[in-house]
Structure 1
Amino acid sequence: MAGTANAAAKSEMIDLTNLSPDQLMQIKQEFEQEMTNIQDSLSTLHSCKAKYAGSKDALEAFQPDWENRQILVPLTSSMYVPGRIKDLNNFVIDIGTGYYIEKDLQGSKDYFKRRVEYVQEQIEKIEKIHLQKTRFLNSVIGVLEMKQAAALKMIQQQQQQQQQKRAPSLRRKNSFDDVAHTVKARLTCGLPVRALSLSLSLSLALAVVYVQSARCPLGRSRGACIV
């Protein structure tokens, strides 16, 4: 247990901001698995503590006048046979792995009391480790979410820059489309040929001026911009 606590303490000294998102994700998955194992261990210890405490309480309730008292003796978890108490000061205790010991009433009470206290100490130690790992896992998740948000923001900025680069070409295309739409509308209205020719020349001239102004920034000579 002490080695695990030291390992958790060393883990907290890692500078998480220097790790990549993939490394942080791997650490997160490993700690989540460890947290699951710790939870299983705590559940097992709490079950053992409840079993020992139940045996201790049963011995505390034992009365001296229970000799020859009828009881139900369990054969399985759901099957019993009737029996009678013959010896009030002799108990057989299961100590695990198929071993049993005999103790008197007071010795049996002391045994289960010690077991309850020992299991409680183990529970407290593991809960401290669980708390340390929980704090570290929360730190990992916080840094991981921060890095993921920064990466998403960078992608959005790149997309905006690409859209801004495409905008001038779209504006030039829309200008030519407007000229074509104007000519088509005037043809539909049945304008005289002369008026239509003059309108078309004016529209094309405006389009040429727009293209030249786009290709020739302010401050350069007109001859330097002729293509």
Structure 2
Amino acid sequence: MSGQQIDLTTLPLDTLAQVKKQLDDELEHLTTSFTKLRQAQTRFKECIISVKTGVNDSCAGKTLLIPLTTSLYVPGELSSTSHVMVDVGTGYYVEKTTTDAVKFYAAKVDVLSKSLIELEKVVAQKGQNVRVVEEVIRRRVMEQQQQQGQGGEEKA
């Protein structure tokens, strides 16, 4: 962003419409990104809960349902109640202690929380920009309608 300001009242209506469309598209993209980040944060929080509550000595030797995907589970047994495999991204897994796994996921949640706060500010600013452009468009259209109305009265 260059920080350059443009007087919207000087732009033609078609240009204002293009600016509004661009802002709407950006706002939609940012909102979608916000939703995806929130979902990722929720998944990491669920991982923390799963490690804290699902990996313990009471589970040793018992058959558990192991998730392969979000909707496919297979029966299995824990080989260790002190270590877990952690998905560190792009299909790579690392063995960690349960304590380190919780720390890893908590760090991910913190990073996403900070990103969500910043993104929320950007979304709010873009939303404000859209409202300003819409207001300028409304005023310009009303001015044009008034001018056309006055022009029609003069001809009569």
Length-normalised TM-score, structure 1: 0.64
2:27 to 30, 35, 43: 35
Aligned to 2:12: 20
How big is the alpha-carbon RMSD for the aligned residues of Structure 1 and Structure 2? 1.6
CA contact (8 A) 2:52 2:98 kept: no
Give the CA deviation at 1:76: 4.3
Q: Match of 1:10, SS?
A: coil
1:150 aligns with 2:155: no
1:109 aligns with 2:91: no
CA–CA separation in structure 1 for the residues paired with 2:44 and 2:152: 65
Evaluate the alpha carbon distance shift between residue 48 and residue 79 of structure 1 in structure 2; reply closer, same or farther with a 3 A threshold.
closer
Aligned to 1:85: 78
CA contact (8 A) 2:51 2:102 kept: yes
CA–CA separation in structure 2 for the residues paired with 1:77 and 1:21: 48
CA–CA separation in structure 1 for the residues paired with 2:3 and 2:71: 49
Give the CA deviation at 1:78: 3.7
Evaluate the alpha carbon distance shift between residue 63 and residue 137 of structure 1 in structure 2; reply closer, same or farther with a 3 A threshold.
same
Q: Match of 2:3, SS?
A: helix
Aligned to 1:97: 90
Consecutive unaligned residues in structure 2, runs of 5 or more: none
Tell me the matched-pair count: 155
Q: Which has the higher contact order (CA 8 A, sep 6+)?
A: 2
1:128 aligns with 2:121: yes
Letter in structure 1 aligned against 2:20: K
Mean alpha-carbon deviation: is it higher for 41-50 or for 18-27? Answer: 18-27
From the two aligned structures, give the one with the greater helix fraction.
Answer: 1
Consecutive unaligned residues in structure 1, runs of 5 or more: 1-6, 164-227
Letter in structure 2 aligned against 1:73: I
CA contact (8 A) 2:27 2:126 kept: yes
1:65 to 58, 61, 66: 58
Give the CA deviation at 1:80: 3.0
Letter in structure 1 aligned against 2:49: D
Length-normalised TM-score, structure 2: 0.91
CA–CA separation in structure 2 for the residues paired with 1:81 and 1:24: 56
Kindly, what percent of the aligned residue pairs are identical? 24
CA contact (8 A) 2:88 2:94 kept: yes
Letter in structure 1 aligned against 2:14: D
Evaluate the alpha carbon distance shift between residue 45 and residue 34 of structure 1 in structure 2; reply closer, same or farther with a 3 A threshold.
same
CA–CA separation in structure 2 for the residues paired with 1:41 and 1:76: 22
